[in-house]
A and B are shown apart, each in its own frame.
Chain A
Amino acid sequence: MPEKIDFSKVSFLIVDKSPPTARLIRDILHVLGVTAIRIADTVERARKMLRRDPVDVIITEHHLGEESGLALIEWVRTAPDSLDRMTPIIMLTANSEEDYVVRARDIGVTEFLAKPFNVEGLYRRLVAVIARPRAFVNADGYFGPDRRRRQVPYTGPDRRRSDD
């Protein structure tokens, strides 16, 4: 029997300063059966909400005013007062050029989706973060999802310095 996703069990935080966009994402999630949805228009408000009560999934824009979506990701992943450092984060943004994608990836975003977006693209990201969770990496200067998308078997010797 094929697997299904019961979105009614999943809580979301949408961070976007454009009210029509935040409402559209909220309405899409409602159709999927989500009932626990909070909306913040700044990073500061998002942090306040998350300090009180963490959510299962965060959907954030990059361009949010004084502080960007990257600041939110960094806070979730590294701050001592972040209640869940492994929260899946989808960046849904009109800042979609390659350098933005790379910076988001290197700060610990889970999925990235460019605006303008379509419902299939958003749904695929939701399925990915809920049904296909990724391993996390804790290393010098990085805490976040494993950035390797493809696992390529390597049979040669381990040549990293720390193994000398």
Chain B
Amino acid sequence: MKTIQQASMYSLSIMLLCGFLGAVAITPDAIANTAPRMKLTKPSATGGGHQLHGGQQHGKQGAQPQPRRRGAGKQLLLENGEGATVEFWAPDLGFQEIKVEGGRFSIPKPAVDNYHAVVAERQQGDLKQAAVRYEYMRGKPSSESPSRLAAAQKTEFEIEPAPIPREHSRYMANKKWDFILRFKGKPLSGVPVVLETSQGSHIEAVSGDAGLVQFIIPDDFPEVKLGRRNNPPAELSLFAKYKAESTRYETTLSAAYYVDPGHWRSKGLGVAVAGLGLLAGGFIGGIGRSNKRGKKQ
């Protein structure tokens, strides 16, 4: 009897604790967005490993580097996007539809290099959802500026990176990045935008004048090793929602982001070494001699 009572007490405690933890875990934003967010991610980012540019696998002990793959072959995953149409946009704004089966798909071989956009769209009743992701592709040199692709209206409600990290550059933690929120091609101000990372960070901001919203990407990598190539990227996504007339719009922009190299780069030491160089230069150049002469005079 006593045991049953104890068991009931334990069960009740556990239920209460779970309820409490559940309440804590659900943020106000999450409550407001009951529909799962549609977003485009790298399959490896959600599957435990990570993938760097060029298809090199990292993050697994003993994993051998894979040969660099040029052009096609990048795999993406459309999360919570059943029934969505997916388009692949080239830098010259030409686009083609991509077949998606089970959420996972390969980006087709591009005609030219530089940034391309993958755009997923879906309408369910009064809800229109969109997900955008920019991927750098290798190929013949493109003469089109990525600014044209970023600024083009690819879907009705869109978060535009302003700018996309430059070719061979990337989103870095601890750096401030600008984005522009647009509705039907026009900047939209006063709308909340959420940044979430695959490491669990959650930041909110509101779009200001000209739809501009700024985020400092959180430095939330749990384990940082020395050197960029030893640290796999994580995933970030920006999410916003908006209601116009009787339609609800939701949009997501996702990208990979990397560890802040400040973890293994010392500015203090850099200044100190440059200072030593200054001293050495002063000695070689005879600045000291010159000053002594000046004092004597």
Task: Report if A and B associate in a common complex.
Answer: no
